[in-house]
Homo-oligomer: A and B are copies of this chain.
Amino acid sequence: MFKETKTHEITVDTVILTLKNDSLQVLLVKRENEPFKGKWAIPGGYVRMSENLDDAAMRVLKEKTNVDNIYLEQLYTFGDPLRHPVARVITCAYFALIRAEDVNVISDEGVQWHSVNELPALAFDHKEIIQYSLKRTRERLELCPVAYQLLNEKFTLTEMQRAYELIMGKSLDKRNFRKKVIQTEGLIELNEFSKSGSKRPARLYTFENIRLNSKRAHFIKKEKKS
């Protein structure tokens, strides 16, 4: 079926997750070429000879969607010989959580956010890749407050709780959630309040370094009581 002498091709694919319209959404591009022309896919492309995998992931994401300067983390490498119908293409998948407002998605019919609960038909094994990224995100969320990557610079605790609920897929007790999250290292209580326009205004919070795009922002740990 395959010539054993032919060399493989290697791509990177990126799962970009955000919160939008009260749902967890993933950034997809419509394929313009065969195979799977017209189907949706996560942004990806070939790795160049002189760039490392992290850089390649960042570059293809920028090229396809104009999304730049975010922290991408390696997810898993998918190498089933049949995952690509034409060639032998191994892909190294990356993922990131971002604030939808932070990125300028190319205004284009071919680049759109889709709810992870209502995915269209996807090219290749991209559905599997997205599912795996969700699993990883949930595992992360149990360890540290990665949700802040999805929130605005200033956010209310209700917004943060909603982010957790959307990712974990279950509702949480308001008082217990706040009790826990308030202990998080780096969380800062502001003297500002949401101007919601209606109802009681909510206090705003922020994170230290929320603007840093820190390479390891993922790994904020809970404070150890001294």
| Closest chain B residue to A87, Cβ basis | B49
Tally of this chain's copies: 2
A7 near B4: Cβ-Cβ < 8 Å: no
| A: interface residue count bin | 20 to 34
Chain B nearest CB, measured from A48 CB (Å): 6
Chain B nearest CB, measured from A140 CB (Å): 13
Question: Is A160 part of the contact surface with B, judged by Cβ < 8 Å?
Answer: no
Choose from B7, B79, B80, B92 the contact partner of A9 (Cβ within 8 Å): B7
A4 near B77: Cβ-Cβ < 8 Å: no
Question: Is A88 part of the contact surface with B, judged by Cβ < 8 Å?
Answer: yes
Main secondary structure of the interface of A (DSSP, over half): loop
Chain B nearest CB, measured from A81 CB (Å): 5
Question: Is A226 part of the contact surface with B, judged by Cβ < 8 Å?
Answer: no
A7 surroundings in chain B (CB, below 8 A):
7-9
A79 surroundings in chain B (CB, below 8 A):
10, 47, 52-53, 56, 92
Question: Is A50 part of the contact surface with B, judged by Cβ < 8 Å?
Answer: yes
Question: Is A23 part of the contact surface with B, judged by Cβ < 8 Å?
Answer: no
A47 near B90: Cβ-Cβ < 8 Å: yes
Question: If the complex has contacts A7-B7, A8-B8, are A77 and B49 also in contact, measured as CB distance less than 8 A?
Answer: no
A8 surroundings in chain B (CB, below 8 A):
7-10, 47, 49
29 A-B contacts, Cβ less than 8 Å apart? A2-B49, A3-B49, A4-B48, A4-B49, A4-B50, A5-B49, A6-B49, A7-B7, A7-B8, A7-B9, A8-B8, A8-B47, A10-B10, A10-B79, A10-B90, A47-B79, A47-B90, A49-B81, A49-B88, A51-B81, A52-B79, A52-B80, A52-B81, A53-B77, A56-B79, A74-B76, A74-B77, A77-B77, A90-B92
Binding site for B on A (CB under 8 A): 1-10, 47-53, 56, 74, 76-77, 79-81, 88, 90, 92
